[in-house]
Amino acid sequence: MKTKRAASPSHLSLPERSAYRRLEDVVGCKWSAAVLSAIDRGVTRPGRLEKFIPGISTKVLNERLRKLLDYRLIERTVFPGKMQRVDYSLTGTGRKLAALLDQLRDLDEEHAQRDIDSPE
């Protein structure tokens, strides 16, 4: 017995478009992936993040941290004291996204290696 396939919609729904825009807002920025990867590797303090990620400015780092906080991909912990300390960590969703970004990086490296091994 054949089952009927649902007709393909003629366009993306509003919720789908919103989801893609959020994803593009985070992943579409070249710095977001670097910040997520650095935090995933244990670089959790703003000053260390700035040194760990070549070329990122303090302003851009702060903007990206705010955006990643807004999307609940990272958490901010403030340690009070004479010298207030701030650390960032990945949320569960942030860890999932960092793992996906690692897979994309691996795929890119694999693809690049194939191009080196067998140039056309």
**pLDDT at residue 22, rounded to an integer:** 77
Q: What is the pLDDT of residue 28?
A: 78
The per-residue pLDDT for 51 is 96
12 has pLDDT over 70: yes
**pTM of the predicted model as reported, rounded to 2 decimal places:** 0.76
Average pLDDT score over residue span 25-37: 87
Span 52-93, pLDDT tens digits: 999 999 999 999 999 999 999 999 999 998 988 999 999 999
- Return d(Cα 115, Cα 120) in angstroms, integer: 8
Task: Tell me if 90 sits within 8 A of 74, measured CB to CB.
Answer: yes
Sign of CA dihedral 72, 99, 42, 38: negative
For domain 16-117, the CATH architecture is Orthogonal Bundle (1.10)
Domain limits of the chain? 16-117
CA gap 52, 34 in Å, rounded:
9
